[in-house]
């Protein structure tokens, strides 16, 4: 059985959400509530309900609020002091915490709270069925979504990324070596960019 880590990217500044929410809004959208729980906690709980281990959360902006939202959960937090430079540095921070015996890492976004443990298991299962693949991604109605599973073979390429560039760039480079998993749920394409998106989810 493959050992797959889970990395939750929770370092962004969420400027669009904060601008729309105003001064009375949360410190970061990741602690905005959905069904009585912070968004980032819902993502973490889904990861923890799957076989993925360890579960690593990359913090950055409003790290105290994010850590408080995750209190009591058996996961590892790592802080990306360079979070303002963009997504690449957070991905690099997360991968630096992945144990050497892991075959890959599943990259989850902290603002995609509808992703379930079942979806995570589907992606891991697809990787185990095609262990030589470089990546596994969900696809819904022709649209590639998240989370994305990166094999260890792609880890060196992550080190070369910079700015606001994440796994999508790696997938473009690995075209032809990606397993796409059809998913009916809109969870893999739904993210929370504004309070209206959260209210209308």
Q: What is the pLDDT of residues 63-106, one digit of tens each?
A: 999 999 999 999 999 999 999 999 999 999 999 999 999 999 99
Strands 135-140 and 148-151: antiparallel
- The pTM assigned to this predicted structure is 0.91
Give me the domain span that covers residue 30.
4-199
Q: Which phi and psi angles does 115 have, rounded to 5°?
A: -65, 130
Within 5-131, residue ranges assigned H as helices are 15-21, 39-48, 63-69, 87-95, 117-129
pLDDT digits (tens, 9 = 90+) for 129-155: 998 899 999 999 999 999 999 999 999
pLDDT digits (tens, 9 = 90+) for 105-133: 999 999 999 999 999 999 999 999 998 89
CATH number at residue 82: 3.90.550.10
* 34 beta partners: 37
Number of domains in the chain: 1
For the purposes of burial, counting CB atoms within 10 Å of the CB of 57, is it exposed (0-12), middle (13-18) or buried (19 or more)?
A: buried
């Amino acid at each position: 059985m493959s050992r797959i880590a889970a990395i939750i990217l929770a370092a962004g500044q969420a400027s669009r959400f904060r601008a729309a929410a105003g001064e009375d809004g949360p410190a970061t959208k990741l602690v905005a509530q959905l069904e009585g729980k912070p968004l980032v906690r819902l993502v973490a709980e889904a990861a923890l309900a799957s076989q993925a281990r360890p579960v690593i959360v990359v913090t950055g902006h409003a790290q105290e609020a994010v850590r408080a939202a995750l209190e009591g959960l058996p996961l590892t937090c790592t802080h990306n002091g360079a979070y303002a430079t963009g997504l690449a540095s957070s991905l690099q921070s997360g991968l630096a915490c992945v144990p050497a015996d892991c075959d890959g890492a599943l990259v989850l976004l902290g603002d995609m709270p509808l992703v379930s443990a079942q979806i995570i298991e589907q992606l891991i299962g697809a990787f185990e069925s095609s262990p030589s693949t470089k990546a596994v991604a969900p696809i819904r109605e022709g649209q590639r979504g998240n989370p994305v599973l990166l094999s260890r073979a792609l880890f060196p390429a992550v080190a070369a990324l910079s700015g606001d560039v994440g796994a999508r760039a790696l997938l473009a480079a690995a075209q032809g070596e990606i397993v796409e998993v059809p998913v009916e749920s809109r969870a893999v394409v739904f993210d929370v960019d504004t309070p209206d998106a959260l209210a209308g989810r």
